[in-house]
Amino acid sequence: MKNLIYILILMTIMSYGCHRGGDHISLNTINTRNTFRFEAMYPEKKTAKLEKYLDSVLHNDLPLDENIDLFVNIGSAEKFNLQAKKGWLTITFDKKNSSLAGYYKVKRLTEGIGKEIKEK
């Protein structure tokens, strides 16, 4: 009987903790010799704002509220992979087969995404 009570208390505490993290923001950048990768986890309510920002910068209508996985052109022959759904976005750029200018474009884009997500 004591075990059942402990399990119920533990489940209640865990449930409360899972529901409190609604405004959690996580930005992660991995920059290796061959690849630049940016991952953002953010509150789902910021998806529309981020979508508007990306549309203005990339001049491309990207439905971030759907599950997408596509390549986005940023120059004549350069592109990056964008994966997204509500509350999550990943950008992967192949530095090995791209120019330094393309790398800086993607880096500036991800910095702007970070600012948009952090803004109230």
- The predicted-structure confidence for 88-113, as pLDDT tens digits, reads as follows 999 999 999 899 999 999 999 999 99
What is the span of the domain harbouring residue 36?
22-118
100 falls within a domain = yes
64 falls within a domain = yes
Percent of the chain with pLDDT over 90: 64
What's the number of domains the chain is made of? Answer: 1
pLDDT at residue number 91: 96
3-class DSSP state for residue 28?
A: strand
Q: What distance in Å separates the CA atoms of residue 6 and residue 58, rounded to the nearest whole number? A: 53
pLDDT at residue number 20: 47
**Dihedral over alpha carbons 76, 72, 105, 28 (to 10 degrees):** -160
pLDDT at residue number 3: 58
73 falls within a domain = yes
Of the candidate ranges 17-21, 70-74, 88-92, the one whose mean pLDDT is the lowest: 17-21
* Of 58, 84, 86, the residue nearest 72 (C-alpha): 58
Q: What distance in Å separates the CA atoms of residue 22 and residue 58, rounded to the nearest whole number? A: 28
Q: What is the pTM of this model?
A: 0.78
When the pLDDT of each residue in the chain is averaged and rounded to a whole number, the result is 85
62 falls within a domain = yes
